Amino acid sequence: MTITTQVWDIALEGLTAGYGPKVVLENISTVLPGGKISMVLGGSGCGKSTLLRQIIGLSAPMEGKVLLGGNDFFAMKDAEFRRMRRRMGVLFQDGALLGSLTVGENIALPLREHTHLKEAEVQEIVLHKLSLVGLAHTTALYPSQLSGGMRKRAGLARALVTDPPILLCDEPTSGLDPISAAQMDALLLEMRERFPSMTIVCVSHDMESVKAIADHVLVLHEKQVIFQGSLHNLQETTKPYLLQFLARAPMREEEQGASYPLSEATRAHMHRELELQ
Amino acid sequence: MVTVPVVAVGRASLAFVGEMGAMLIFLLLGMRHMCSSTKQLQRVLRQVHVIGAGSFFLIALIGLFTGMVLGLQGYYTLTRYGSVGMLGSAVALTLIRELGPVLTAIMVTGRAGSAMAAEIGVMRISDQIDALEVMDINPYAYLVSPRITACLFVFPLLTAVFNVVGILGGYLTGVQLLGVNQGVYFYSIESSVVFADVAGTFIKSVFFALTVVTVCCYKGFFANLRQDGMGPAAVGNATTSAVVLSCVLLLLVDYVITSVLL
């Protein structure tokens, strides 16, 4: 079943972004292709989530453009900017469900705010979306009553409730056990099958997840894009950092920065204090 | 070296004035959406319940004891001057003109204002406010406006409750315990309290409502920008700072309004 016809490419042109004076991403130009699952990879603190915040429109770039379907997101007038935002579904790291609302109310929120659907229709959609993520039995529960994995799935249901053509996920599998992570991957693949025109962008550093679902991969390192292309191309790379990343190899000693050895006397004292001896 | 303290005071003053300006803009942004949709009514009613109904018994209790203490203190003070007949007037005017609105506002700040700052602060650090934005739900309209509207209703009502219960507290100690004539007690209230006093109490409570709701929502809303902590610590600091600043500003606003009304 196809729900939208337009495929939304996400293009970044000379994007420089950061917080205050601190630059996290510098002069990045890339395209995240529409209708595919793009995975943004990189080490912790390399700017993956910052990139996502730019695409969502939560932070404006210091320089450069974010183009959605060819239109400059941050140059849009307020009404058009808001209309564009409604075309996005976002899954935050911990789901970001509103704690004062039940799961059902959370999923229904965008529909109740932006549509004049009858309550029965809203309930039907909510149940459908929750059943897609296997949580149809949780409508009356509060987010605090769910496990981390369930909160993420409920967050995904909320992100999908308006059938958005663009789905953005911030670390969808982080903190999940292998079975829940595989379930989340399967859900994203199912979304791609159900909605072939949907552009899905996931920020992650979970290589298993990348291997399972990625059509397109973008790797960030030291403020720059150091790789963009298919998973197949990534696996054939010869770049040292990428090889290290793919092989889960630890940093070399010279890359780790300053070293502070612990004296034996301090260690022995600590153990005595902790009654380990 | 000599200029260091002066520079520090200057910086702190500029920061304070800047923050006051930011809070005023925050309040205006919140007020802009007070009547933006019919869905606001439900949110307002929920906040009226949380802020108003939840604080009712506390306010009544504090009002009762405040009135009782005023009755006791007033009785022994007025007895010295042979003016014990003015006890009702002393209790009522003290409550209506000053203690009612101020103590109500401080109590609501401690109970509901701190909860407001903490709840919104937690929403900020757990990405819930960002989630509202990306769902194209204006966080000012969703979180701030209903609280402003609710406070504008609730503060005057709770102040009225405080005043009435306080006068009854004064009656309990003055009349029932210390033997002041009941008719004299109520007659002195009736003859001394004028419409301007009652209007003043409500005017003060409206300004106090705006002060408390603005400070508490603002501190929570921008908990992520604090320099003195991150994550849960930022929420804790934001809550403390909201309560302290609210109380200080309440007394400042009280002085200004009193000097204008008198």
Would you say residue B43 lies in a domain? no
Domain count, chain B: 1
B64 pLDDT more than 90: yes
CB nearest A96 (choices: B39, B127, B136): B127
Instruction: Read off the tokens for A271.
Output: 């153990």
- The residue type of B221 is F
A176 pLDDT more than 90: no
List CB contacts (< 8 A) between B134 and chain A.
Answer: 56-58, 85, 88, 90
A1 pLDDT more than 50: no
Name the minimum distance, in Å, from the CA of B34 to any CA of chain A: 15
Q: In whole angstroms, what is the distance from residue A200 CA to residue A188 CA?
A: 8
At B147-166, the pLDDT tens digits run: 999 999 999 999 999 999 99
For residue B72, the tally of other CB atoms under 10 A from its CB is: 16
Q: What is the mean pLDDT of chain A?
A: 87
Domain ranges of chain A: 1-87+204-250
Would you say residue B45 lies in a domain? no
Poorest-pLDDT segment among A113-127, A174-188, B135-149: A174-188
- Residue that the structure tokens 């200004």 belong to: B256
Is B123's CB within 8 Å of A99's CB?
A: yes
Instruction: Read off the tokens for A123.
Output: 């309930």
Q: Which helix (H) or strand (E) segment is A29 a member of?
A: strand A22-32
Is the ipTM value over 0.95, yes or no? no
Would you say residue B39 lies in a domain? no
Q: Give residue ranges of A with CB < 8 Å to any B CB.
A: 56-58, 82, 85-86, 88, 90, 92-94, 96-100, 109-110, 112-114, 158
Q: Taking CA atoms, what residue in B is nearest to A54?
A: B134
Cα distances (Å, whole numbers) of residue A196 to A128, A158, A209, B235: 19, 19, 20, 42
Homologous superfamily (CATH) of A1-87+204-250 is: P-loop containing nucleotide triphosphate hydrolases (3.40.50.300)
CA neighbor of A97 nearest in space, from B146, B231, B230, B126: B126
The residue of A53, A84, A91, A92 whose CB has the most chain B CBs within 10 angstroms, and thus the best one to mutate to test that interface, is A92
Contact B70, B94 (CB under 8 A): yes
Q: In whole angstroms, what is the distance from residue A203 CA to residue A169 CA?
A: 6
Q: In whole angstroms, what is the distance from residue A129 CA to residue A135 CA?
A: 9
Would you say residue B85 lies in a domain? yes
At B9-18, the pLDDT tens digits run: 999 999 999 9
Q: Taking CA atoms, what residue in A is nearest to B40?
A: A113
Task: Give the pLDDT score at A259.
Answer: 79
**Relative orientation angle of helices A148-160 and A178-194, to the nearest 10 degrees:** 10
Q: Which domain holds residue B178?
A: 4-33+55-261
Confidence of residue B208 (pLDDT cuts 50, 70, 90): very high
For residue A200, the tally of other CB atoms under 10 A from its CB is: 26
